[in-house]
Amino acid sequence: MESQTNSRPRVQVGCQGWNYEDWVTPPAAARPVFYPNGTRAEHMLDTYARAFDTVEVDSTFYAAPSDATYDAWARRVPEGFTFALKLPQKITHEESLRGSVAAAALEEFCRGARRLKEKLAAVLVQLPPQFEATRENLRALSEFLPLLPEDIRFAVEFRDPFWFEDELLVPLSLKRNVSLALVEGPWVTRERVWRAAATLLDATDFAYVRWMGERDLTRFDEVVRPRDLNLDKWAAALERLRARVPAVFAYFSNYYEGHAPASANRLKRLLGEAVVTPEDLEDQPSLF
């Protein structure tokens, strides 16, 4: 394990998902990929949690997990590990945040998510590109946000870049447990996201960061488009972020550089956080 040198508050850095066959080291590989050779799907979360202390769960976007699933996740990870959950598409995409169906689905989802207790990082409200910055959608957002319970953090992600204007983001500033998701993605510039965030950080108690990429890759076992300079800029931004908010959660997509664990570890090194390498996972027995 590479040592931690930064004594300031931690940024929890992880990946968007943990269940990827491409992360399993093939037989006779010259060097480990991420998971040791032979790691089965049912053991991936346990192994992942030895390297990272947070993960974003994509499967909750498609359907809310059962109580038993939440309980199993919580049992398989150590204290201090957190899960970020995507709000189901039933609410964000099908109902567009509107009406009694969305409200009931939100209430039921939050009931289940609370089973994670202190291992719940935040809930990502990922809105589709079709949720454009119109007067009608602004009204829907403004009516939906008061329904969000105060005991859970929520990060709102816009895919229409026209939302990133101060006057349209005012509703997000009215609840301290709601934050703008800071996204590196092809639909909005990094600088525009940072400008929007600067006006909201004093109104929230956490930051939520995501790194996306063009969805043109077919394998996720190595970095194929390194973005070192870009990550250097983000690392500097995250240093400023953690000086302003008490909690920062950050998640990489495989599509960002080609291999999310490598991207996450590079950022952790830049932030002075302790790093568990794929070689460490090969050498150490599971602790959980």
Supply the pLDDT for residue 210. 98
In this prediction the pTM is 0.94
pLDDT at 288: 38
List, in order, residues 6 or more apart from 83 with CB less than 8 Å away. Answer: 54, 55, 56, 57, 73, 116, 119, 120, 121
pLDDT, tens digit (0-9, with 9 covering 90-100), for 31-84: 999 999 999 999 999 999 999 999 999 999 999 999 999 999 999 999 999 999
Query: In this prediction, what percent of the chain has a pLDDT beyond 90?
Result: 88
Q: What is the pLDDT of residues 221-239, one digit of tens each?
A: 999 999 999 999 999 999 9
The packing angle between helices 67-76 and 41-51, to 10°, is 50
| Whether pLDDT at 7 is above 70 | no
pLDDT at 109: 99
For 104-114, the pLDDT digits (tens) are 999 999 999 99
Predicted local confidence at residue 197, as pLDDT: 87
On the question of pLDDT at 172 being above 60, the answer is yes
- Which residue is it, tokens 């929520």? 154
Q: For 125, list phi and psi in degrees, rounded to 5.
A: -95, 90
Nearest-5° Cα angle at 122, 154 to 140: 20
pLDDT tens readout for residues 187-197: 999 999 999 88
- The answer for residues whose C-beta is within 8 angstroms of residue 217's C-beta and 6 or more apart is 224, 254, 255, 258
- SS3 string, 80-141, reads CCEEEEECCHHHHHHCCCCHHHHHHHHHHHHHHHHHHHHHEEEEEEECCCCCCCCHHHHHHH
* CATH tag, 11-283: 3.20.20.410
Q: How confident is the model at residue 287 (pLDDT cuts 50, 70, 90)?
A: very low
Mean pLDDT of 194-204: 88
Q: What tens digit of pLDDT does each residue of 115-163 get?
A: 999 999 999 999 999 999 999 999 999 999 999 999 999 999 999 999 9
Cα 44 from Cα 52, distance rounded (Å): 12
Q: Where are the domains of the chain?
A: 11-283
